Amino acid sequence: MRDEGVERWPVKVDRIAKRRGIKIQYSPLDEELSGMVFYKDNVAVIGVNSKHHVRRQRFTIAHELGHLQLHDDVLRKGMHVDKVITMLNRDSKSAAGTVNIEIEANQFAAEFLMPRKFVMQYMDENDLDYGTVADEQAIEDMANAFNVSSTAMTYRVAKIL
């Protein structure tokens, strides 16, 4: 499902969402709000902060797609709102000791925007090797190609390699 209709980077996250019947609404929100996801009349709606950088918007959409795929039961109970802080807080665990749904959604988003096979293919085509994660210019070029932030790409490459 993750790679449906996707042959090459950058992954067209908004088009894939729309093809799945999900509505995307771009609107200016408070700086601290990244986005939200909810059901309206049984249609999934993703709200995105239009004031944020496009790469952040893409990550937000992918993060909310993760919630839709993984946490539908939670979303059926009410709107899920993401603040910048909850999305960056990669290591937090809930009080019950279960894996935080934000970590799962971030993981989903990283895999969605930077699928392993695309990352490997890009590295093959550009003759990159294991030193890439420490090469700022290479990471930046890769981030540009995938239309994600350099930070997101650094994490992803480190994880894959």
Position closest to Zn ion via CB: 82
Distance CA 76, CA 78 (A): 6
Under the criterion CB under 5 A, does residue 111 sit at the interface with Zn ion? no
Region near Zn ion per CB under 5 A, out of 44-52, 54-62, 94-102, 131-139: 94-102
**Of the residues 46, 68, 105, 153, which one makes contact with Zn ion according to CB under 5 A:** 105
| In contact, 44 and 21? CB cutoff 8 Å | yes
Site for Zn ion in 54-83 (CB under 5 A): 82
Closest CB 104 distance from Zn ion, rounded Å: 9
Site size toward Zn ion (CB under 5 A) is 3
Crossing angle of helices 101-113 and 54-70, in 10° steps, is 120
Q: Which residue from 62, 54, 78 is spatially nearest to 111, judged by alpha carbons?
A: 62
Distance CA 32, CA 49 (A): 9
Q: Note the residues at the interface with Zn ion (CB under 5 A).
A: 82, 102, 105
